[in-house]
Structure 1
Amino acid sequence: MNSSLLRSLTPSVIGVLVRRGADFAAAEDAVQDALMEAVRAWPTAEPRDPKAWLITVAWNRFLDATRADTARRRREDLVDAEPAPGPAAAADDTLRLYFLCAHPSLTPSSAVALTLRAVGGLTTRQIAEAYLVPEATMAQRISRAKKTVSTVRFDQPGDVATVLRVLYLVFNEGYSGDVDLAAEAIRLTRQLSAAFDHPEVAGLLALMLLHHARRPARTAPDGSLIPLADQDRTRWDTSLIAEGVQILQLALSRDRLGEFQAQAAIAALHADAPTAEETDWLQIVEWYDELAALTDSAVVRLNRAVAVGEADGPQAGLAALTPLDPSLPRYTAVAAHLHERAGDLPTAARLYAQAAREATNAAERDHLTRQAARLNTQGHA
């Protein structure tokens, strides 16, 4: 049985049921029942049209569950009126489901969980393990999210920015448990890109591919972090880089710049440099200027300060850092890096140690602790 096929068909099947009149929660439950039936039935005889099979079984499960409802006759009438599923309807239903799962009425964490469940086809257990929470907690989160969107009209226009933000949150979770969320986010974004022609969707896909290309070089065998400047670039996935750059170039040619395209352009410049020393930092600063104008984000300005420090020297980087709020995540680590480059090793060591105490994950904390220890050792040499 092709489990990846089942997962790829899940959103369009849910979409068909919702379009026929089922509320979201009931549709999702019926499709999950159909998927379980497929697991039992398909190993011996996979149907000629898997999607049509799933739609039929899921719709029958829905009708069985609502047979006593006063709207029974209206729903059954819709069965006769429903056209046979086809490629256009599949794309349309999948796209609508993306927008529904990323509805603004949901919290970001609920939108991510619902997207992984309904669009990604992951089980509640898999999602819970990926986010390191109890399965019961994730089940409650998903249940509340389904109830929320069940009151939303399926034909309401969606906000692509919200959908992309949800997919970006999934991507940034990376890998934990038995689900590679970075790879899953790329799969879902590819699916969205195929259904929805928008330069920012392409920009996000390019950004994911360019970042994912560096993944093999990001950690040492012992699990410790390797900074970008120290990574073995021969381990970067050149095919992903080439694909990401090509997608980005096509998106930029449409002259509708958005934040994900700008971020992808920065990632492409890093990927294009044969060595860290050959990085075109002046262009990167220019792209950060574009990104700051688009987002007015303090985090973008923090990253820009690092780029300025590389392009114009550490003192210029520290000057760019001065107006920013020291409570920003990674502010202390950036300040430590710039002070080290400026030659102020005692201050840099103190800031690295402080940044380690502020770190939110073990790998980053260990890396910053090693940086502080390295400078303290140099200072006493």
Structure 2
Amino acid sequence: MKDLIEDVYRKHSRRVLATLIRLLGDFDRAEEALHDAFAAAARTWPRDGVPDNPFGWLVSTGRFRAIDHIRRRTRFDASLRDIEDTLYPSADEKEVGDMELIEDDMLRLIFTCCHPVIPADAQMAMALREVCGLTTEEIAHAFLVPAPTVAQRIVRAKSKIRAEAIPYEVPSHEELPQRLDRVLYVIYLVFNEGYSASSGSEMIRTDLAVEAIRLARLLRGLLPHPDVSGLLSLMLLQDSRRLARRDANGDLILLAEQDRSLWDRAEINEGLRLLHDVMRHGEIGIYTLQAAIAAEHARAQTPADTDWRQVAAYFDLLLSVQPSPIAELNRAVAIAMLDGPEQGLQLVDTILQAGDLGSYHLAHSARADFLRQLGHTKQALEAYETALAHCRQAPERAFLQKRISELAAASTERQ
């Protein structure tokens, strides 16, 4: 039962939180209610069984626990009586179970986190905390800042929401374009965390990837903007490889070694159609360029069929629009596929010397792979060890440890 409740938490806790924020009108109160609801589930589900609708049960339980807390506290704090009198009566059973409202709750949450009065760094920290459920330590690792700094940003963002009475809503159609960039970026971050978790025992968090795609579809219905279509195309093309990215034991399978018959052709076809429509109209943004790169992989029947020259050209375009060391790293891999590992190694060394990706395990892993291909076993082992030291995700750590073991064994045999 413990494993089942943990699975429900992974799948539903963010949506339960989003709905509780709407019903209770306060982030901290909703988070407390969320924890109370799951604590109640841990006590009662083993005895009474799992309810038919766990999501609805958790929302209702959390809301009633919050009401109960408020009622007890109103005996000591008269200022809370208005909350009790005006907030909770409006949250009747119909509102708790209104699927149209619930479907919009995650989008409301993202728009609230991304309100213009909240500083950009606090927006991202709060979104990753509330939408993805990442810990402050995980967010700090992602942004390479101290955990207390992240915690302070989140506290300030919540205080700003309260002080400015920021509405928990999707903005009007007229306001949507001005808020779009940040919201798209948050959805992109949510998907990336689902596509390749930043830490933990699982490589893929399917719940987050699927939720990000759902949110992009919902947003596209509200605002059919080329950037929304580009992001949706990118996520569909990336997600299409989900079943082929790990083996039966959950171990990582590299792109070149994946069974492409397992790729989801329906997602690929939809992603390609969206990409074609956007590029046909000539409004090509950063997500569309990334989708175009993903499309080159999706079209290739075998790894050898990949048009690496076109991939590299798309990365050149992407870097001209939005310079990024990670994009430079991916471009280096494409160049290595074209011109050989020595060229790739030179590019990666230049990137690492710049200092931006010193703690990014994939940069050291790419360097190690180029060194391995060039026969520089000792240096490759050192680079793999460095990558392992910075890696926080169990399947990627297992992959790196396997590479280290294979290289060490081959080196011993040669001696």
Scaled by the length of structure 1, the TM-score of the pair is 0.69
Residues 309 and 8 from structure 1, CA distance in 2 versus in 1: closer, same or farther, beyond 3 angstroms? Answer: closer
Q: Which deviates the most, 183-192 or 33-42? A: 33-42
- Structure 2 partner of 1:114: 130
CA RMSD of aligned residues (A): 4.8
Aligned equivalents of 2:340 and 2:191: distance in 1? Answer: 32
In the alignment, which residue of structure 1 is the partner of 2:145? Answer: none
Letter in 2 for 1:76: D
Q: Which amino acid aligns with 2:213?
A: R
- Give 2:256's match in structure 1, choosing from 229, 248, 254: 229
Report whether the alignment pairs 1:96 with 2:108.
yes
Asked if residue 186 in structure 1 is aligned to residue 212 in structure 2, the reply is no
Question: Which of 28, 33, 48 is 2:31 aligned to?
Answer: 28
Change (3 A) 1:195 1:238: closer
Q: Does the residue aligned with 2:160 lie in a helix, a strand or coil? A: coil
In 1, Cα distance between equivalents of 2:266 and 2:326: 30
Cα displacement (A) at 1:97: 1.0
Q: Is the 8 A contact 2:126 2:154 kept in 1?
A: no
Which residue number in structure 1 is paired with residue 398 of structure 2?
363
In 1, distance between residues paired with 2:34 and 2:68? 8
User: Which residue is equivalent to 1:76?
Assistant: 85
Aligned mates of 1:340, 1:281 — CA distance in 2: 21
Deviations 1:318-364 (A, max 9, x none): 565564334534445434545666xxx44x32332122121134324
The one-letter amino acid of 1:167's match is V
- The alpha-carbon deviation at position 249 of structure 1 amounts to 4.2
Larger mean CA deviation between 186-195 and 66-75 belongs to 66-75
CA distance in 1, matches of 2:306, 2:275: 19
Counterpart in the other structure of 1:288: 315
SS at match of 1:359: helix
Per-residue CA distance 1:218-237 (angstroms, 9 max, x = gap):
44567664432233323334
Deviation of 1:161 (Å): 4.8
Deviation at 1:279, TM superposition (A): 0.6
- 1:308 to partner: Cα distance: 1.8
How many Å separate the matches in 1 of 2:365 and 2:28?
Answer: 44
Identify which range, 349-358 or 279-288, moves more after superposition.
349-358
Q: Is the 8 A contact 2:192 2:209 kept in 1?
A: no
Q: Which residue of 1 aligns with 2:23?
A: 17
Name the structure 2 match of 1:135.
none
Unaligned segments of structure 1, at least 5 residues: 118-123, 132-139
Measured in 2, the distance between the counterparts of 1:306 and 1:62 equals 55
Q: Structure 1 residue 81: deviation in Å?
A: 7.4
The number of equivalent residue pairs is 356
Q: Are the counterparts in 1 of residues 70 and 80 from structure 2 also a CA contact under 8 Å?
A: no
- Percent identity between matched residues is 25
Sort the Cα spacing of 1:215 and 1:75 in 2 relative to 1 into closer, same or farther, 3 A: same
Distance 1:142 1:69, change over 3 A: farther
Following superposition, the deviation at residue 282 of structure 1 comes to 1.6
Cross-structure match for 1:121: none
| Residue 110 of structure 1: how far off its partner (Å) | 6.0
The answer to whether the 8 Å contact 1:318/1:335 transfers is yes
Q: Which runs of 5+ in 2 are unaligned?
A: 140-147, 172-178, 392-396
Q: 1:247 to 1:322 in 2, by over 3 A?
A: same
Bigger shift: 105-114 or 289-298? 105-114
Q: 1:272 aligns with which of 257, 281, 299?
A: 299
CA contact (8 A) 1:30 1:62 kept: no
Q: CA deviation at 1:142?
A: 11
Report if the CA contact (8 A) 1:298-1:324 is conserved: yes
Where is the helix percentage greater, Structure 1 or Structure 2?
Answer: 2
Q: CA deviation at 1:288?
A: 0.8
Does residue 173 (structure 1) correspond to residue 165 (structure 2)? The answer is: no
Q: Is the Cα–Cα contact under 8 Å of residues 30 and 61 in structure 1 kept in the other structure?
A: no
The structure-2 alpha-carbon separation of the partners of 1:173 and 1:251, relative to structure 1 and needing over 3 Å to count, comes to farther
Contact 2:364 2:384 survives alignment (8 Å): no
Question: Counterpart of 2:284 in 1: which secondary structure?
Answer: coil
